[in-house]
Structure 1
Amino acid sequence: MQLTTHTDYALRLLVYLAIHHGKQAPTIPDAAARFDMSSNHLAKVAQTLVQHGYIVSYRGRGGGLKLALPIDEIGIGKLVRKTENLRLLPCFGSEASCPIQPACFLKNALHKAQDAFLKVLDDYTLADMVLNQDRLQEILKISEPA
């Protein structure tokens, strides 16, 4: 299974917010620059994360982003379910038109594979993704607050 860029950016933004401990709240342009990604695309991702209650966005001077939940309460599997279209095939939807659907084993096999994929992700939280916080901060050039 391949995750979309939207989910990839969502995971990266959450990691960035989890390891950022500066006095100033991180901003979308700052996060985008550190990951060399589009600010416009990241803004759409941030909007999704706000809508799902993962982050809070503050506007104006001194504005920025922050996590809305503790890092150990942000499940990776749950996030992927909220940001991905999990219909691997058209027959995963209610309007299946495949003529072999009544006798098809492929749908069941793919559904089991997808469930296994998500079950593994359910074992991880954002806290697990930032256990190497010092190294991540070094790579992204995030300095500790003075």
Structure 2
Amino acid sequence: MQLTQFTDLGLRVVMHLAATAADSSPSTKLVAEQLNLSYAHTTKVVARLSELGVVTARRGRGGGLTITELGRTASIGWLARQLEGDEEVVDCEGGKPCPLRSGCSLRKVLRDAQESFYAALDSVTIADLATAQRQPVLLNLTRPAV
């Protein structure tokens, strides 16, 4: 299974914030630069993470991003589900419906596999990914030389 770019960016942002010092509140622009991400995409991801209660985003002077307690304790599986949405692995009904859809059991098998994928991520939290031994990697990010 492949996660969308949106989910990938969301997980990166949350991991970075989890590794950031508690008294630090980096701006969305700074986080985007540190993670080598598009500012526009990062802004959209941060807005969604804020809606979910995973991060707090404050504007203006003294503002910035901070991870919430939910953000630290949430499982990767839960967060991935929230960011991915309820999309099926395959779209049998789309613009060109599959002629096999009425008698095919592939959709259920793929849905079960998708749930197994998420279930495997349910045992890992954001805090697990931002342990002290990983913090230097998450915090010492620099933009690659062009």
TM-score by length of 2: 0.83
Pair 1:105-2:120 in alignment? no
Where 1:66 maps in the other structure, the secondary structure is strand
Deviations 1:48-71 (A, max 9, x none): 001111111111111101112255
TM-score by length of 1: 0.83
Q: Give the AA of the match of 1:30.
A: L
* Cα distance between partner residues in 1 of 2:11 and 2:101: 35
Identify which range, 84-93 or 121-130, moves more after superposition. 84-93
Structure number with the higher helix fraction is 1
Distance 1:92 1:13, change over 3 A: farther
Conserved in 2, the CA contact under 8 Å of 1:57 and 1:65?
yes
Distance 1:119 1:51, change over 3 A: same
Structure 1 unaligned residues grouped into runs of 5+: 142-146
Conserved in 1, the CA contact under 8 Å of 2:19 and 2:139?
no
Percent sequence identity over aligned pairs = 33
Where 1:91 maps in the other structure, the secondary structure is coil
Where 2:48 maps in the other structure, the secondary structure is helix
Tell me how far 1:126 sits from its aligned partner: 0.3
Q: How many residues align?
A: 140
Conserved in 2, the CA contact under 8 Å of 1:58 and 1:65?
yes
- Quote the residue 1:51 is aligned against: 51
- Quote the residue 1:8 is aligned against: 8
Distance 1:38 1:90, change over 3 A: same
Alignment of 1:1-146 (within 5 A): 1-21=1-21, 23-70=23-70, 72-85=72-85, 86-91=87-92, 97-131=97-131, 132-137=133-138, 139-140=140-141
* Cα distance between partner residues in 1 of 2:116 and 2:88: 15
- Structure 1 vs Structure 2 CA RMSD: 2.4
Tell me how far 1:89 sits from its aligned partner: 1.8
Q: Which runs of 4+ in 1 moved over 3 A?
A: 96-99
Where 1:101 maps in the other structure, the secondary structure is coil
Tell me how far 1:91 sits from its aligned partner: 3.5
Where 2:56 maps in the other structure, the secondary structure is strand
Where 1:3 maps in the other structure, the secondary structure is coil
Tell me how far 1:33 sits from its aligned partner: 0.8
Tell me how far 1:97 sits from its aligned partner: 4.5
* Cα distance between partner residues in 2 of 1:84 and 1:65: 22
